Structure 1
Amino acid sequence: MSRPPRQLSRGLPLRAVAPNAVTALALCCGLTAIRYAISQNWEVAVTLILIAGVLDGIDGRIARMLHGESRFGAELDSLADAISFGVSPALIIYLWSLNALPRIGWLCSLVLAVFCALRLARFNANIDVTEQPHKSAGFLTGVPAPAAAAMALLPLFMWFWTSEPLFQSPYLVAPWVAMVALLMVSSVATYSWSSLKLRRNIRFEALAVVVIVGAAMVSAPWHTLSLLCIAYIVSLPFSITSYARVRRQRGSQPSPPLAAVPPTVDL
């Protein structure tokens, strides 16, 4: 009696490997940033964090484009974000400034890393939750991890192009880092850039702004990053006001049942 032919395993499809490879590359950038921070090569260390942020912004889009979304990818993305935007910036800031205050400085760095992990854990716990008022209204809950990492590194950006010792002072950096950590785990409504839609009559102007910002990043990266961080900080009161207005409008009319919201990469 002949045996039935063995069915060969087709293996893991490439569409699932590609986005996870991008996420792993972002994780490598975050870990390598720590190595350059130990050797006090601050600009390279910060640049690697920024590269990790760019890779974090495209891995989810690659997964959706290739239909390679998976729960494994979501968990790997959260792990990479916790290291690239929590542990690495915390260690960079500690080695650069906060080690002058070993106890308080390490406490603030620890809070930044742990609160980033807590934020990502909260995100993962709410992936399958249908009713999410902030997300259904086009907002995020708290400051996302990549934006929080950039905000925490703002004193370093300012120090790069001003060489002002004030920006390296642990008495300035420590409370700033603690505030950024609290914003990550807060319930503050922040803008979700993936949900913003442009009007047709201003798309050309928006493209021109993107070109100007890109040119500024090439010619004066630290000046531009400082201005972008300050602009994001200034936008927080407006996002809170906008969400409060949306909430009042929803309260004045019967709300339809909320549809399930797919997970996004804005952690």
Structure 2
Amino acid sequence: MSDLFPPFAPDEHEPRKRLFKPVPFRVIAPNIITLIALCLGLTAIRLAYEGRFEPAVIAIVIAAFLDGIDGRVARLLKGTTRFGAELDSLADFVNFGVTPALILYSFVLHELKAIGWITVLVFAIAMALRLARFNVMLDDPNRPEWKKNFFTGLPAPAGALTSLLPLYLSFLGVPVVGVAAAPVVLLYLLGIAFLMVSTIPVYSGKTMGKYVPRQLVLPIFVLSVAAFGLLVSFPFEMLAVSAVAILLTIPVSVTRYRKLDRLHMAGKIEPEQQSATAPDDKA
């Protein structure tokens, strides 16, 4: 038997085969941000079922902020991956589809029992369909550049933040509790779900020009600081105003989209819309 398995000394200079290739940190960093946002969304569900609705809403707002920067961090670090895109979509479904609906169910929709729960399911499924459609549209090679200025339907973060408007109003003293308020919240949540799965064009605002006119730099600084100060000092007032503003800008977006579509069909698309724009990164 010793002849079958003769002893041998391993070659010291033979390179060791690595089971896994090292991954650059610039690829990992955006996914860490996405996972932190996902943890915030899941924590918001726990806070809501403990009756702590204000910190639950704040957790969703922070998750929406992180959702807005993870894609930009990935492009800045040149760390965009297919894995990161899929992870981002799954996090968006939890943070902006499941969590807001469960928070509203815990807040007031539970008063309607099964009907309230069905509304939660409808909103969550609408968010899943909206995200799936968004991912499919990214692969459309025939999509005109000017259409990248618009989302098809209400985007996921905006849908989540506007859906929580009843909570903002409640924090401001508006009576949005009890059996009487539940049907109103139900209809409102169904309306937001419809906006998300609809084909209504909503201006994205992410494909604006990369350069700002010099005379507008200082005013933008001042307005940014003022907006941040107001958000910190009056968070729920600002969130309520932002939610209403998002809904009020939808008719403006539809009007602008139809105008550009007519110009495109007539071959007279505006020159500033012909330049290549960055692809959308959020649903």
Taking structure 2 as the reference length, what is the TM-score of the superposition?
Answer: 0.87
Moved over 6 A (4+): 258-262
| 2:233 matches 1:228 | no
Q: CA deviation at 1:208?
A: 2.2
Unmatched segments (≥5 aa) in structure 1: none
Deviations, residues 76-104 of structure 1 (Å, cap 9, x unaligned):
00000000000000100011011111122
Calculate percent identity across the aligned residue pairs.
40
SS of match in other structure, 2:151: strand
1:116 alignment partner in structure 2: 127
Task: Work out which of the residue numbers 63, 68, 71 in structure 1 matches 2:82.
Answer: 71
Q: CA RMSD in A?
A: 2.4
Q: Is 1:96 aligned with 2:107?
A: yes
Q: Shift of the alpha carbon at 1:17?
A: 0.5
Q: Which amino acid aligns with 2:281?
A: V
Contact 1:136-1:261 within 8 A present in 2 as well = no
Mean Cα deviation higher: 41-50 or 4-13? 4-13
Aligned to 1:59: 70
SS in 2 for 1:140: strand
Query: Equivalent residue of 2:98, what SS?
Result: helix
> Given that residues 38 and 95 in structure 1 are in contact (C-alpha distance below 8 angstroms), is that contact kept between their aligned partners in structure 2?
yes
Q: 1:261 to 1:7 in 2, by over 3 A?
A: farther
* Matching residue's letter, 2:280: T
Q: Please give the residue correspondences for 1:122-201 in structure 2 after superposition, counting only pairs within 5 Å.
A: 122-133=133-144, 136-165=147-176, 169-197=181-209, 199-200=212-213, 201=215
Q: Distance in 2 between matches of 1:52 and 1:116?
A: 16
Aligned to 1:32: 43
Q: 1:42 to 1:134 in 2, by over 3 A?
A: farther
Aligned residues: 266
Alpha carbons 1:192, 1:266 under 8 Å: kept:
no
Could you tell me whether the CA contact under 8 Å between 2:101 and 2:124 is conserved in 1?
Answer: yes
| Residue 282 of structure 2 corresponds to residue 266 of structure 1 | yes
CA 1:74–1:262: 2 relative to 1, 3 Å = farther
Higher helix share: 1
* Structure showing greater Rg: 2
2:165 and 2:240 in contact (8 A); partners too: yes
Q: 1:247 aligns with which of 261, 280, 283?
A: 261
Q: Contact (CA 8 Å) 2:110, 2:116: kept in 1 or not? A: yes
- AA aligned to 1:94 is Y
Residue 132 of structure 1, CA deviation: 2.6
How far apart are 1:134 and its partner, in Å? 7.9
Match of 1:5 among 11, 15, 20: 15
Structure 2 gap ranges (5+): 1-9
Distance 2:145 2:240 in 1: 28
Instruction: Say if 1:209 and 1:246 are closer, same or farther in 2 by CA, change over 3 A.
Output: same
Distance 1:203 1:248, change over 3 A: farther
Once the two structures are TM-superposed, the CA of residue 266 in structure 1 deviates from its matched residue by 2.1
